[in-house]
Amino acid sequence: MHPLTVAFLSLLFVATTASAAEEVLADFDGADYGGWTATGTAFGTGPAQGTLPEQAPVTGFRGHGLVNSYLGGDKATGTLTSPEFELKRRYLNFLIGGGAIEGKTCVNILVDGAVVLSATGREEESLTTLTFDLGEYSGKRARIQIVDDATGGWGHINADHFVLSDSAAMPPYVKQSIDAETLYEETYRPQFHFSAQKGWHNDPNGLVFFNGEYHLFFQHNPKGTEWGNMTWGHAVSPNMLEWNQLESALLPDATGTMFSGSVVVDVKNTGGFQTGKEPALVALYTAAGGTSPESKGRPFTQCLAFSNDRGRTWKKFDGNPVLNNIGDGDRDPKVFWHAATTHWVMPLYVGVKDPTRLGKDGKPVTRQVCQFYTSSDLKKWTLTSTFAEELFECPGFVELPVDGGAKPSKWVLWGASGEYWIGSFDGRTFTAETPKQKGDYGSNFYAAQAYDDLPDHRVVLVSWMQGGRYPKMPFNQQMGFPVELSLQTAGDGIRLMKWPVAEVRQLFTSALHEELIEHFPAGQRKLSGTNSELIDLEFEFIPGTAKTVAWEIRGNRFEWQAASGELTAFGRHIPLRPGPRTLGHRSEFRKPWGPDFEPWDNSIRIRFLVDRTSIEVFANGGAAMASFCFVPRALPTTTLIVDGGDLARSRFTLRDLRSAWKY
């Protein structure tokens, strides 16, 4: 290459066309910023060569340089602005990472001096691809402005490789607002997982089925996309897929904001709240005193509300609270009717001071426990027992048959993080018969609650997929996909199994089944038909001599290693060894949605349920589950990668899914 060409490229604002359809504006691989203008101290005099001092590892940039405003730490501020350029192509593709503070850690597009598009990082040092659609500004002149105007945590921005192109590297990124025409079609809106129309939501509450409707109440902030102002949101569905959000059910009051709880159908009218022919719905919830100015100085208590119009309107009980404050932050009552002893049972999280354990300050340590209360009328409650082991928040408690009813049923108790115990319950005391078990191996499972009184006797679990990111969306967070629970005897005892509810079949639009060749050789292969962003993929294989089997799904790698017997993804490890065909659920789908086949012996079975912003993994028929949220890094493709040897046998079934919001 001619020396003058090298010098020209080092200016980092490249006018050379990378291909007929692309124009590289900046690659930041030179010694300085060339024609870009820097202000402040955050960007220094030239590109960073990767990770800066005291910064977590920075990955995902191209070449050996990038824009990284962590110079001197998060306290440094400044801007970096490009020379003007003409918008000759529709799309601007680039890499971005760093903080997620709107207007302060961002990449802006300036047209006529005004910001017309802006995007932040997502609080990750890893850079990911983002696309702006600049079609409406075609022919105009623009500038790129990279901003660091934040001094706190994640107060920096990473960026690299700005390319004008005729094609979008990712679905174009736009800031969404509530609009009747675009509602549920937003860039990062989950398409078959529940999310609120707008605002923040977290824990599922009050899961109950009544008169043909599944009710989903949920912790909700209708006034903002951050946690706070806890209100009970409310949605109903005929099938746990297609949700209609109603008016909020319970609003904050002088007793506190509305924390988690449960709803029951009082068939026997034990509380005396029924006024019509139909039984009343009764909600037991935590009034979180001290979490709002109106409730300042008040404690956490357990309260009651009831509805006589199928949950459309609610009246809070005049005699609230029905259970006074007990300990430190007691909350999350999960009430159910215990038929054998003909009374109501309330598992409740309580923080109890333990005088036998002192902290560094000499004061008793708080034990996190589940207490059991009983009542005949839902209004007066009596403590009957305290579970011996520690359990934090959102207790769930259900009875399940073992091996499909071949053995006596057992009770399962779980906490917010999904850990669970299996044992016996006499209506007052739960006795664990297993050690604590792992309930979900992913990064984004929390606060699950179950439909436990369904007419078909299924028990169906819904979780909050905690910690997902939805940049610039009018909503924040999503629920997990409903899963049916069962108990099955495995090699190491009775274990809890999870499997997507059969209603998912209503979302299938097409199916592809393929038997891969015997002794599938080491190498990689793009799986046919995986170019949809909504898929249900089941993969089964007998390892043979293969040491590693991996799947790249929308830029996310799931890797199984023969040596460890684990599937790794997002830094998490999921136990997964070849198992018998009798383990867990088999593929339940039949023609036209898939072949009629039995699992193989000594195979590994993996099911990936993929939405726009989440992947849920079901290993060996639900023997292990892992829940993950992500911001899309790549276009919808799935690649199979086999290394170290051949697969002895393999096959996959792929189903495309439709949006549950379009019905």
Q: List pLDDT tens digits, range 580-598.
A: 878 788 775 555 555 666 7
**Tokens 């124009």 belong to residue:** 23
Report the 10 Å Cβ neighbour count for 597: 14
pLDDT at 176 over 60: no
pLDDT at 23: 93
Q: How far, CA to CA in Å, does 307 sit from each of 211, 274, 313, 469?
A: 14, 8, 6, 35
> Higher confidence at residue 308 or residue 529?
308
The torsion angles phi and psi of 462, rounded to 5 degrees, stand at: -130, 130
- Cα–Cα distance measured from residue 273 to residue 531, given in angstroms and rounded to the nearest whole number: 53
Give the residue-averaged pLDDT of 188-203. Answer: 96
pLDDT at 181: 65
On whether the CB atoms of residues 306 and 280 are closer than 8 A, the answer is yes
> Each residue of 275-290: b (16+ CB within 10 Å) or e?
eeeebbbbbbbbbbbe
pLDDT at 529 over 90: no
Look up the pTM and report it.
0.77
Superfamily designation of domain 3-165: Galactose-binding domain-like (2.60.120.260)
pLDDT at 478: 98
- Cα–Cα distance measured from residue 205 to residue 218, given in angstroms and rounded to the nearest whole number: 5
On whether the CB atoms of residues 257 and 292 are closer than 8 A, the answer is yes
- Cα–Cα distance measured from residue 384 to residue 378, given in angstroms and rounded to the nearest whole number: 15
Helix ranges restricted to H, 487-561:
none
Type and span of the H or E element at 6: helix 3-9
C-alpha torsion angle, residues 597, 598, 600, 603 (rounded to 10): 90
Residue 148: left if φ>0, alpha if ψ -120 to 50, beta else—which one?
A: beta
- Cα–Cα distance measured from residue 94 to residue 100, given in angstroms and rounded to the nearest whole number: 16
Among 244, 118, 247, CA closest to 183: 244
What single-letter DSSP state applies at residue 341? T
Q: How many helices (H) and strands (E) does the chain have?
A: 1, 44
- Written as six digits, the tokens of 92 are 């601007």
- Cα–Cα distance measured from residue 44 to residue 68, given in angstroms and rounded to the nearest whole number: 9
Question: Dmax over Cα atoms in the chain, in whole Å?
Answer: 90
CB-facing half-sphere around the CA of 466: CA atoms within 13 A = 16
For the chain, give every residue range classified as CATH 2.115.10.20: 199-500
Least confident piece of the model among 110-114, 298-302, 378-382, 448-452: 110-114
Give the residue-averaged pLDDT of 436-455. Answer: 96
Give the residue-averaged pLDDT of 637-641. Answer: 89
Among 237, 257, 203, 278, CA closest to 503: 237
Mean pLDDT, all residues of the chain: 90
Give the residue-averaged pLDDT of 123-148. Answer: 92
Q: How far, CA to CA in Å, does 71 sit from each of 13, 38, 40?
A: 22, 13, 11
Residues 469, 472, 477, 479: is their CA dihedral positive or negative? negative
Give the residue-averaged pLDDT of 361-371. Answer: 89
Cα of 492 vs its chain's centroid, Å: 29
On whether the CB atoms of residues 568 and 579 are closer than 8 A, the answer is no
On whether the CB atoms of residues 530 and 628 are closer than 8 A, the answer is no
pLDDT at 40 over 80: yes
Give the residue-averaged pLDDT of 454-470. Answer: 96
**Tokens 């989440």 belong to residue:** 614
Least confident piece of the model among 210-214, 372-376, 559-563, 646-650: 646-650
Beta strands at 124-133 and 91-98: parallel, antiparallel or unpaired: antiparallel
Given strand 336-338, what is the order of strands in its sheet? Answer: 336-338, 343-358, 364-375, 382-386
pLDDT tens string 230-246: 999 999 999 999 999 99
For the chain, give every residue range classified as CATH 2.60.120.560: 504-657
Report the 10 Å Cβ neighbour count for 167: 11
Classified by CATH at the fold level, domain 504-657 comes out as Jelly Rolls (2.60.120)
pLDDT at 257 over 70: yes
- Cα–Cα distance measured from residue 156 to residue 148, given in angstroms and rounded to the nearest whole number: 6
Cα of 441 vs its chain's centroid, Å: 13
Give the residue-averaged pLDDT of 75-81. Answer: 95
Q: Let me know if 203 is a catalytic residue.
A: yes
pLDDT level of residue 600 (50, 70, 90 thresholds)? confident
pLDDT level of residue 633 (50, 70, 90 thresholds)? confident
On whether the CB atoms of residues 183 and 177 are closer than 8 A, the answer is no
Which amino acid is residue 395, in one-letter code? P
pLDDT tens string 84-115: 999 999 999 999 999 988 889 999 999 998 89
Least confident piece of the model among 266-275, 388-397, 403-412, 573-582: 573-582
pLDDT level of residue 182 (50, 70, 90 thresholds)? confident
Q: Which of 148, 160, 203, 452 is catalytic?
A: 203
CATH of 199-500, picked from 3.90.480.10, 1.20.20.10, 2.115.10.20, 3.30.1300.10, is: 2.115.10.20
Give the residue-averaged pLDDT of 24-40. Answer: 94
- Written as six digits, the tokens of 539 are 């993969």
